[in-house]
Structure 1
Amino acid sequence: PAHSAIKQQGKPVYLAARKGEAVALEPRPVTIYRFELTKINLPRIEFLVECSTGTYIRSLAHDLGQALGTGAYLSALRRTAIGDFQADAAETVESFEEKVKSLLASEG
């Protein structure tokens, strides 16, 4: 997408897009390892995607809409994992604060 951090000639393309300049991006190959429809309540659908680095999910939604002969966009986006890190294994802010307080107290 034009408002992305992809670089052309060493500069992020969003800088040109913000100035209203036309940005032409070449398609790049990406891999979709998993695409699962998790909820259908038309006109909304929810889906889960596992994909390669560099995949723009907003662009995927747009392409899906084009393939179906209709429009499509994201109304929400949640990254649930990146590499070995899983969102459901993340610590809460409260738990993190308690650990920091405990560490500071032990250093006295």
Structure 2
Amino acid sequence: MEPHKENMEEYGRLCHERTKESMIKNRQIQDKKETTPVKQSDMKRTRRDHGELEDIMFKLFERQPNWALKQLVQETDQPAQFLKEILNELYEYNKRGTNQRTYELKPASRKSVEDTLAE
């Protein structure tokens, strides 16, 4: 196949322009937006006394029957792992249902708390 000889100059000019346009970089550098770190706090959380923290937790659970771990960490300002230890002792974790992924007071703990409040 051979191109038409009449349009050979025009075709050459068209190819040359296309090549020239493809070599031009039209991208622009954008300034990066400063992102704030998602770090919760610069200071490490210090553990409170076990009994003192239990009292605080009981007061929180009087206010609201179900709490997520994240909410408890914010309210008590305690390390999550330390809270989990206490939660596993006195509270049960809801895996299913409407209160999924929350903790609530165990029935046995409820009775002991009610007895101490009655006295």
Q: TM-score, normalised by structure 1?
A: 0.23
- Higher RCO (CA-CA < 8 Å; seq separation 6+): 2
Q: Which has the larger radius of gyration?
A: 2
Q: Which has the higher strand share?
A: 1
Q: Which has the higher helix share?
A: 2
